[in-house]
Amino acid sequence: MRLVAILGAALASALSLLPAVALALPPLESQGVVAPGVQFAAEADDTTVHIISQRYVQIDAAGSVLVDEADVGDGLQGPLDMYPAIGLGPDGVVHVVTRNGGSGPGGTTVEYSARAAAGGWSGGVNIGGVVARNYSVGVAAPAGGRVLVSASRVAGDSDSRIDLYAIEGGAASLLGSTPQGWLRPDGDYRLVSAGNAAVLASGSPWPNGPTFFAFAADASGDVLAQWEAGVVSHTGGSNRRGGPSLTVDGGGLVHLGYGGESAQYYARYDESGSSLGGDALVMDNLGTWHLSYGNGDVVSSPDGMLVVAVALQNLDGDQTSAGASILLAESVDGGATFGAAVDTGLVGEGGEGRMRPRLLEVEGTVMLLYRDNALGGIALATAPWFDEEPEGTTGEGPGTTTDAGDSSGGVFGTTGDDGPAGETGVAGSTSGPGTTGATGFDPTSPGASADEGGCGCRGDGSGSPLGLVVLCLLGLRRRSYNG
């Protein structure tokens, strides 16, 4: 019983340490231009990224173009024109909203179209007619089968509303509008589905304006009433807030990113729309431009534990952020904390915040899409969640001498004195010699190393059960998601 208690304490201690285990996303690898255009929207299923810009394009995790169709395309492609919308249904149908003709300020023709899972387009449904500032659009296809489409329009002198429609019988039926003040005319929003829920995030980037998060658990019911009843105002940072992004992971958790003054923030919600904590600072010192709130996106691994955020950094004061650096930051604890932002070396365009980089995940690969002016199109850069390292050799006997000269029985630390030979364990991997860690339960227990290499559970020729439990748990945490 004493051993059980000891092992239980070791388990609890090890689990408490798991969020602190570092994980570095490998450098992004540029894949070049994958779609034409300036403004775009993108979503991903398990194997494919779907892009709508001037054309509809599908690519795989390697960036290879699978489909390139001109049947449906977006015609409002200026840097200040906002972006079209795309959503994926559970039945494989691709839903898009495009804008054609007119202008952003004066109004454009907004249309809904659908592509069957086997190919072939239908629709061309007009959404709301040509009204001023209707260029910010959205679409969602919840599991219940009801397709929701949205478009902005000016309301009064200084705000916009979001008009919500249902696609019914080949036509768009107006369901109503969000309250005035949820959207500024030059702000944007995201509409996504999460199971049978419809989720909205919108920005009102006036001085001290919030970013709104609204969750309707039953998309087949009164969506607008549900949104208004439970709307949450996010006020991370100071001054203007906006540029929201939404992504839903494999477990139904909803991840929200949004900008504050020269900064990017993060929050998340469970599958019922309840907050799981938020307004964590992702990165700051993003510079200034027309509105100066963080402009980016966020993506999660399917299990929700690994979160990557992107933002544009504009330090030259250009009002349109036309040549902004692209930064990434990563969390390994479900978005509770983020590591330092890293400059990817890529250059994107912000369009006063009306052009947005996108992050997606396909088959264990992080996929960054952004407008690259130098290349003249929508460019892709990719990186795996894990930088896999070669396996180490099987540990046998009392251990071998490391480069540092210690008598080592494994990756994690050096052996104690006079330890009997242990059993051969499962091979791990290492990126360098282990350093001596804390002493285990008995004098022959290995300590925990600060080694950054990937680690499995490995026999070290000397360890006690307690030491192995802790080390194996740390190894399992490193491999909790492997694509």
Q: What is the pLDDT of residues 182-237, one digit of tens each?
A: 998 888 999 999 999 999 999 888 888 899 999 999 999 999 999 999 999 999 98
**Segments making up each domain of the chain, as ranges:** 1-23+392-483, 31-384
User: Which DSSP symbol is given to 478?
Assistant: H
Give the whole-angstrom CA distance, residue 77 versus residue 101: 10
For residues 265 and 257, is the Cβ–Cβ distance under 8 A? yes
Averaged pLDDT score across all residues of the chain: 79
Position 94 scores a pLDDT of 98
Position 386 scores a pLDDT of 59
Cβ-based neighbours of 21, under 8 Å, separated by 6 or more = 332, 474, 477, 478
Phi, psi of 313 (to 5 degrees): -115, 125
Position 9 scores a pLDDT of 43
State both tokens at 278: 């938020």
DSSP string for residues in 386-408? S----B-PPP-TT-EE-TTS-EE
Position 433 scores a pLDDT of 36
Give the whole-angstrom CA distance, residue 73 versus residue 50: 13
For residues 448 and 412, is the Cβ–Cβ distance under 8 A? yes
User: Which DSSP symbol is given to 18?
Assistant: G
Please give the CATH number for the structural domain made up of 31-384. 2.130.10.10
The closest of 316, 368, 363 to 344, measured between CA atoms, is: 368
Give the model confidence (pLDDT) of 161-185 as tens digits. Answer: 999 999 998 999 999 999 988 998 8
Position 69 scores a pLDDT of 98
Tens of pLDDT, residue by residue, the chain (483 residues): 444 344 444 433 443 344 333 345 789 999 999 999 999 999 999 999 999 999 999 999 999 999 999 999 999 998 888 999 999 999 999 999 999 999 888 899 999 999 999 999 998 999 999 999 999 999 999 999 999 999 999 887 678 999 999 999 899 999 999 998 899 888 899 999 999 999 999 988 888 889 999 999 999 999 999 999 999 999 998 888 889 999 999 999 999 999 998 899 999 999 999 999 879 999 999 988 777 787 899 999 999 999 999 999 988 777 777 888 999 999 999 999 999 999 999 998 877 767 889 999 999 999 999 999 899 999 999 999 854 443 444 444 444 433 333 333 322 233 333 334 444 333 333 333 333 333 332 323 333 333 333 333 333 333 333 333 333 333 333 333 333
Position 24 scores a pLDDT of 58
Q: Centre a 10 Å sphere on the Cβ of residue 355 and count the other Cβ atoms it contains.
A: 27
**pTM (two decimals):** 0.77
State both tokens at 187: 């702000």
The closest of 290, 368, 261, 263 to 80, measured between CA atoms, is: 290
Q: Any idea how long the chain is?
A: 483
Position 155 scores a pLDDT of 83
Q: What is the largest CA-CA distance in the chain?
A: 83
Q: In Å, what is the CA distance from 156 to each residue of 53, 105, 132, 133, 159? A: 31, 14, 11, 12, 6
3-state secondary structure at position 331: strand
State both tokens at 76: 């409002």
